[in-house]
Amino acid sequence: MKSRNLLILLLVMSLVLVGGLSGCSQPSEEPSSGESDESSGETYEIRISHIASNTDPIHLGWEKFKETIEDKSDGRITVTILGNKQISNSNDEDAEKVQSNTVQMSSVPTYTLAALGSIDKYKLCDYPYLFKNDEEIYKIMDGEIGSELSQELIDKTGLKAYGAYSLGWVKISTNEKPIKAPEDLAGLKIRTTNSDLYMELIKSWGANATPVNYGELFTALQQGTVEGMVTTTGLYVSDRFYEVQDFMADVNPMAIVHVPVVNYEFYSSLPEDLQKVFDETMEIYLEEVRALEAKAEKDAIGQLREKGMEVTELTDDQKQVFMDAAAPILVDKADLVGADFIERIQNELK
């Protein structure tokens, strides 16, 4: 009996000891792997504004961003996309809304950033015939020059930039007649952006440069406020400009280059692990949106012809006439970014 009582006592003491040890080994209230103490349980919303239609590669690219970052962050970051001019009527308004943190992200043309922060070097993509293709643009914007511009943008505007992507190469169109030479544009009112270089380009071809907000362009063409326009091929399709323009030529002087931007204060407020997720997502997003835009550019000419536009694909000799007319701009307007900066770009492209 004594030995039995001793056995029971030892068993009870063992259970008490194991229970005590188990209590000591309970995990503390620390965040799971990948979370910082500061971010545990906290979620963040990213609002994105753009003015393109919901079928445009710009919107489809942002959908990829949303899908990727919500998945990679395990739902700690949520994304709301406000597209199709829901809250902005121009790229300038989008940039200003990101700057004020009304929304946290957008993508805007390089000329918008040049104006917003008085960073004239962002006008590099507006020089006619400086770049030959998208690959040359990405070599510059993904490299040292792009990094320098991004840092200057943070310092002057509070926006952080991530590379760039091409919306496609600029075409010109009118309702007057087929465009085969600059004289076919003489005296016509052609819509441009507010970019000095865009306006100089249209003037070099003998037309009257007329800035109009993109969100108001379709109506301006309907009402005859302007008789023609320049923009990328894909936008002619997605925004249905074929309904108000009859003739197009593939002059291709430059691409419209968009730069994705995020409010830097918002970005800095993210915990380090979510900043890493954000940066990784931007790499995936850029690859996707570049591919979407390239496909849209490739498909657009055929789609426009199906819709009834007369598209002139210029011969090398015909295109050379347009190039020769615009050539003085690179010299006469070099001071906008600095002749040494242009030379640096040309050397890197070599």
CA angle 324, 329, 333 (to 5 degrees): 165
User: 46 by DSSP, 3-state: which?
Assistant: strand
What pLDDT does 75 receive? 97
> CATH assignment of 44-349?
3.40.190.170
CA angle 8, 9, 10 (to 5 degrees): 90
Q: Tell me the C-alpha distance between 303 and 311, whole Å.
A: 11
What pLDDT does 193 receive? 85
User: Which of the residues in the chain have pLDDT under 50?
Assistant: 1-39
- pTM (2 decimals)? 0.82
Give me the residue spans of the domains in the chain.
Answer: 44-349
Phi/psi at 128 (5° precision): -65, 130
What pLDDT does 182 receive? 98
Please give the single-letter amino acid code of residue 123. K
Pair 248, 309: CB distance under 8 Å: yes
Digit-coded pLDDT (tens) for 190-205 = 999 888 899 999 999 9
User: 309 by DSSP, 3-state: which?
Assistant: coil
Q: How many of the other CB atoms lie within 10 Å of CB of 333? A: 18
What pLDDT does 344 receive? 98
